[in-house]
Amino acid sequence: MSEFVSSCPDLIELLKNRRADIRGGVAAAIGAYSNDESCRRALFASNICTDFLKSVLRSAYDTDLMTARASLSALVNFAADPDSIHAFAEIQVISRMLETLLEKDPSVHQLDSLRVSLITNLTRFPKGVQSTFGSNESRFAKELAEQRIVRLFERMMNEQERGHDGSIDALESVAMFIANLCITEVGRNLVLDGGEAGVLGRSCTLLKSSKNVNRRLGVALMLRNVAVDDSCHDALLGMKMNADSVTQVLCRLVYYSDELPRPIEDEELTNAQEALVSAVKVARTGALSRYESVAEVRIVLAEFLLAMCKTKQGRDGLRERCAYPVLRCAHWIEKNPEAQETLNQVVDRTELADEDNDSADTATAPKISSSQPPPALETEKKPAPEQDKLVSNTASLKVSDTSAATETPAASTSSTSGTEKLLQKQEDTTDESFFDLVD
């Protein structure tokens, strides 16, 4: 809208007004404009875009909380637009937000959830990931960014019981943020470093026990994006205890019912990890089952397992962890077509032995055909858990009410890649070559 763009110089001046109520009203008006797609497009096509975003960014640090909240909410919405990334990268918003998120002064952390939502939206785009780690020439900038991201994750994990801003959960947005970074080698290494005490191990505890759907989805996306890189498979399979992501994912897919044609049997778990054996025992009792009830999360978990099947060590790792009986039952009761098809492909690749494997690797269970899905269970005493739905299914985090900032974020666009892409051989792309590809 040309009216909005033509009013930007006046809005910039009004944001400097001495009166907090005027600044707050102007910030709220900007927030309303940020919800209008035509306004966003007009802004990013104008010459005043950078100066205007700088002004709103300054207001995000206003001493008046209402002004700061409304300004941050507007930035979150502006950042959801693909055309925004170049302007935001120019004013180094991600670096500024990371610095603020790690401030020791607790008084500055009231709006952390909005700050994390902002950097999560920006890293949906390659240019945003590049600006997170700094310039290609500066190794120091990359290392500093890595340290900040790890510290941010650790702080959010340590303070997850602290009240958060509205219903936007800062920790779930951090998981989405790190998942976005995993499109680069430096992001994947950041997740793998530290083992059980690092990002991977602590993320798996969220996958294991968190009741928050978006936290689990963020972790699932993180694992999937790491596993897409074949070179990460040895590291993933070498993790122990809580950091054994393959076992933790299998635990989320454990389902047991006597009405299943072939329930999981004890002899099938002879060599299974203790965590998986325990999950099966819990599922048999019918109490506190860890079966993932949200279809969107199950799809990403299945994509993670399918990505692991791209390599021989990945397929062997699934067999060694007794994945087949879990996948057999999960596939049988799966109602979501995409999740069912992906699980079917994982079963195909784990059931059949590789040509150079011993015959002992061959699974004895019958092959599941994707063209003929299993029949529904007719007399289930314990029906499959009802599938919950994510609060939002938009591709980016949006704030519709800039005065309250209460809308729950959804999955980042890292989750939208097709399953078929996971079967393609990924090019050996380092973080340096990635940065070379970005303008």
Q: Looking at residues 194-201, what average pLDDT do you find? A: 86
| 378 burial via Cβ count (<10 Å: 0-12, 13-18, 19+) | exposed
pLDDT band with cut points at 50, 70 and 90 for residue 381: very low
What pLDDT, on the 0 to 100 scale, is given for residue 355?
53
Q: What are phi and psi of 294, to 5 degrees?
A: -100, 120
C-alpha–C-alpha distance, residues 263 and 255, integer Å:
9
- In this prediction, residues 274-302 reach a mean pLDDT of 89
* Same domain flag for 49 and 121: no
Percent of the chain at pLDDT > 70 equals 77
* 80 in the same domain as 104: no
Cβ pair 328, 262 in contact under 8 A: yes
Domain count, the chain: 2
pLDDT of residue 371: 31
pLDDT given at position 400 = 56
Non-local (6+) Cβ contacts of 415 within 8 A are: 179, 217, 221, 224, 296, 300
Report the pLDDT averaged over residues 278-284: 90
Last residue of a domain, one of 51, 72, 91: 91
Domain of residue 180, residue span: 92-437
- For residues 221 and 255, membership in a common domain is answered with yes
- pLDDT for the residue 396: 62
Same domain, 206 and 216: yes
Given a cut of 80, whether residue 2 has pLDDT beyond it is no
| Tens digit of each residue's pLDDT (9 = 90 or more) over 137-165 | 577 778 888 899 999 998 888 876 554 43
Q: Is the pLDDT of residue 18 over 80?
A: yes
DSSP code at position 15? T
For the stretch 330-344, pLDDT in tens is 999 999 999 999 999
pTM confidence score: 0.79
Compute the distance between CA of residue 89 and CA of residue 209 in angstroms, rounded to an integer: 36
pLDDT, residue 190, reads 93
Query: Among residues 91, 109, 143, which one ends one of the domains?
Result: 91
Give me the pLDDT at residue 47, please: 93
The pLDDT of residue 136 is: 60
Q: What pLDDT, on the 0 to 100 scale, is given for residue 288?
A: 60
C-alpha atoms less than 13 angstroms from C-alpha of 104 in its C-beta half-sphere: 0
Query: How many whole angstroms separate alpha carbon 26 and alpha carbon 230?
Result: 50
Higher pLDDT, 272 or 390: 272
Same domain, 148 and 98: yes
Q: Residue 408 above 60 pLDDT?
A: no
Confidence of residue 105 (pLDDT cuts 50, 70, 90): confident
Looking at residue 32, which CATH number applies to its domain? 1.25.10.10
Same domain, 174 and 294: yes
Phi and psi, residue 254, nearest 5° = -70, 125
Q: How far is CA 392 from CA 78, 95, 273, 388, in A?
A: 18, 28, 35, 12
How much is the pLDDT for 167?
A: 44
Q: Which residue has the tokens 């008046």?
A: 64
Amino acid identity at 351: E
Rounded mean pLDDT of 297-325?
A: 95
- Higher pLDDT pick, 137 / 305: 305
- Report d(CA 158, CA 253) in Å as an integer: 27
Domain edge (last residue) among 48, 68, 91? 91
User: Residue 212 — very low, low, confident or very high, per pLDDT cuts 50/70/90?
Assistant: confident
Mean pLDDT for the stretch of residues 257-265: 88
Helix (H) or strand (E) holding 250: helix 245-252
The C-alpha atoms of residue 80 and residue 200 are separated, in whole angstroms, by: 27
Query: Has residue 419 got a pLDDT over 90?
Result: no
Residue 388, φ and ψ in degrees, nearest 5: -75, 170
Same domain (yes/no): 344, 334 = yes
Torsion of CA 91, 93, 96, 98, to 10 degrees: -150
In whole angstroms, give the CA distance from residue 199 to residue 181.
Answer: 13
Which residue(s) pair with 388 in the sheet?
A: 294
Q: Share the mean pLDDT of the chain.
A: 80
Give the Cα separation of 185 and 188 in Å (integer): 5
C-alpha distance from residue 372 to each of 272, 335, 376 (Å) = 30, 14, 12
Residues 120 and 20 occupy one common structural domain: no
Banded pLDDT at 364 (limits 50, 70, 90) = very low
Is residue 431's pLDDT more than 50? no
The pLDDT of residue 155: 87
Sequence letter at residue 426: Q
